């Protein structure tokens, strides 16, 4: 069984907590870490600099598409950053916990 980490940026901590809690409650994620970040990006032809909040979601690879779609439903951004990264290696007990904690 392969696991993934899914990286998501949100407008603020409140949105991050709401999305993270929903993913865990729905068993789409075993765990969600929330981090304050500073982002520099191009949007609408302009360079923007904002404080955002990032989520790092731990889930099974087979749930990645469902997580992406659910986050798009919950997210306030027009084009949210949601990228799924395979976990190549990790603590076997932790990876098993992810498997047992998700649907």
Residue 95 in domain: no
Pairing mode, strands 82-86 and 3-10? antiparallel
Residue-wise pLDDT tens digits, 39-51: 999 999 999 999 9
Residue 11 in domain: yes
- Share above pLDDT 70 across residues of the chain, in percent, rounded to a whole number: 100
> CA triplet 18, 68, 65: central angle to 5 degrees?
140
Is the pLDDT score of 9 beyond 90?
A: yes
Phi first, then psi: what are they for 88, rounded to 5°?
-70, -40
Residue 97 in domain: no
Other C-beta atoms within 10 Å of 15: how many? 20
Full residue range of the structural domain in which residue 73 is found: 3-89
Predicted pLDDT at 20 = 98
CATH of the domain at 19: 3.30.70.120
Residue 62 in domain: yes
Residue 48 in domain: yes
Is the pLDDT score of 94 beyond 90?
A: yes
Residue 98 in domain: no
The number of folded domains in the chain is 1
Residue 100 in domain: no
Confidence band for 1, pLDDT divided at 50, 70 and 90: confident
Phi first, then psi: what are they for 28, rounded to 5°?
-85, -20
Residue 103 in domain: no
Confidence band for 77, pLDDT divided at 50, 70 and 90: very high
């Amino acid at each position: 069984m392969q696991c993934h980490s899914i990286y998501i940026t949100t407008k603020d901590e409140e949105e991050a907590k709401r999305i993270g809690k929903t993913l865990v409650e729905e068993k789409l994620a075993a765990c969600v870490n929330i981090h304050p970040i500073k982002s520099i990006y191009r949007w609408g032809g302009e360079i923007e600099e904002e404080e955002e909040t990032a989520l790092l979601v731990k889930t099974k690879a087979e749930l990645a598409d469902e997580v992406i779609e659910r986050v798009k439903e919950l997210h306030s951004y027009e084009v949210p950053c949601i990228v799924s990264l395979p976990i190549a290696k990790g603590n076997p007990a932790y990876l098993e916990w992810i498997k047992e904690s998700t649907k």
